[in-house]
């Protein structure tokens, strides 16, 4: 297998580090070349109109495509350059990394992939539109497409321990609010399973236990032997508009469909993941 990742960020790097396949990946800045190379990814700048030929030659060789670039206000930036995708003659599978944000608010109810989508935020509306556009592209090319709707992503370098160490952790209390999350190791495991078996369809990438965000901070504080930050009510807390927007939606996301095809979670909940990261020291 030979992968090309448009938008080689945190999740994609986690996958590449655990795979023996060949990887190419794009970034906007040469400053990230070293990070990508450490993750087993050969870096390329995108968009870079001065080296389009190099990009096209690389795409001619790939068998698996992962899209992790968020759409902008005008849509999906890669599909806008559809001529690039004409060079993927050997393509066997596409994975589109989306978000559970496309579901919108479901008042804390359990939902699965069949639930209607009610996105209110513009960024989530754009994601849903991009999902539809990639679905049409995959149908036209007759290529298996997996749309992966990710929950909140955490893992080494991105977790409650980091926030506590940097004095950035907060316990914001909003009645009955839960978040859905997934560890980067499980994202890597799922991408490995899906790419090898050319799985198609929409899947939720979340662990088995949605939980209030303040509980994660409390649990991590206990493991670190720290006193947790004081609780703050959502209504009175000072937050950025971006941070506050995540509390607009409340839903419990089911991963039953994912488990039904045989995926076994490494971390079924945040407690197991935090325990393992703290015990091993693999959280920084």
**pLDDT tens across 190-236, in order?**
999 999 999 999 999 999 999 999 999 999 999 999 999 999 999 99
Q: How confident is the model at residue 74 (pLDDT cuts 50, 70, 90)?
A: confident
Among candidates 37, 42, 30, 39, which has minimal Cα distance to 10? 39
pTM here is 0.96
- Model confidence at 99: pLDDT above 70: yes
Among candidates 1, 59, 60, 72, which has minimal Cα distance to 26? 59
What is the rounded average pLDDT for all residues in the chain?
96
Q: What percent of the chain has pLDDT over 70?
A: 98
- Model confidence at 90: pLDDT above 80: yes
Crossing angle between the packed helical segments 10-17 and 184-197, to the nearest 10 degrees: 70
The reported pLDDT for the residue numbered 252 is 99
Question: What CATH fold (topology level) applies to the domain 2-155+180-208+252-266?
Answer: Rossmann fold (3.40.50)
Q: Across residues 236-245, what is the average pLDDT?
A: 96
The reported pLDDT for the residue numbered 83 is 86
Cβ-contact 83, 22 below 8 angstroms: no
Among candidates 250, 197, 221, which has minimal Cα distance to 1? 197
The torsion of the CA quartet 154, 157, 161, 165, rounded to 10 degrees, works out to: -150
Q: Name the helix (H) or strand (E) containing 17.
A: helix 10-17
**Model pLDDT for residues 14-73, shown as the tens digit of each residue:** 999 999 999 999 999 999 999 999 999 999 998 875 566 788 899 999 999 999 999 987
Beta bridge partners of 218: none
């Amino acid at each position: 297998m030979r992968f090309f990742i448009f938008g080689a960020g945190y999740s994609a790097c986690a996958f590449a580090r655990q795979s023996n396949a060949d990887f190419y990946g794009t970034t906007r800045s040469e400053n990230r070349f070293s990070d990508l190379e450490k993750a087993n990814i050969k870096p390329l700048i995108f968009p870079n109109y001065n080296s389009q030929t190099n990009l096209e030659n690389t795409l001619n060789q790939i068998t698996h495509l992962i899209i992790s670039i968020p759409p902008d206000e005008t849509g999906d930036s890669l599909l806008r350059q559809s001529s690039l995708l004409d060079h993927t003659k050997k393509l066997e599978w596409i994975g589109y990394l989306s978000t559970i944000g496309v579901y919108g608010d479901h008042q804390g109810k359990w939902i699965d992939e069949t639930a209607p989508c009610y996105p209110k935020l513009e960024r989530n509306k754009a994601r849903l539109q991009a999902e539809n556009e990639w679905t049409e592209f995959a149908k036209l090319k007759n290529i298996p497409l997996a749309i992966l709707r990710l929950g909140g992503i955490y893992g080494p370098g991105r977790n409650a321990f980091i926030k506590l160490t940097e004095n950035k952790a907060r316990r914001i209390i909003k009645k009955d609010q839960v978040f859905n999350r997934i560890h980067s190791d499980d994202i890597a495991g799922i991408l490995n399973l899906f790419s090898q078996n050319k799985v198609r369809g929409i899947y939720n990438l979340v662990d088995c236990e949605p939980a209030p965000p303040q509980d994660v901070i409390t649990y991590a504080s206990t493991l670190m032997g720290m006193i947790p930050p004081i609780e703050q009510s959502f209504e009175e807390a000072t937050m950025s508009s971006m941070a506050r927007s995540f509390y607009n939606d409340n839903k419990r996301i089911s991963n039953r469909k994912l488990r039904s095809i045989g995926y076994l979670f490494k971390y079924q909940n945040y407690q197991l993941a935090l325990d393992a990261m703290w015990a091993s020291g693999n959280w920084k």
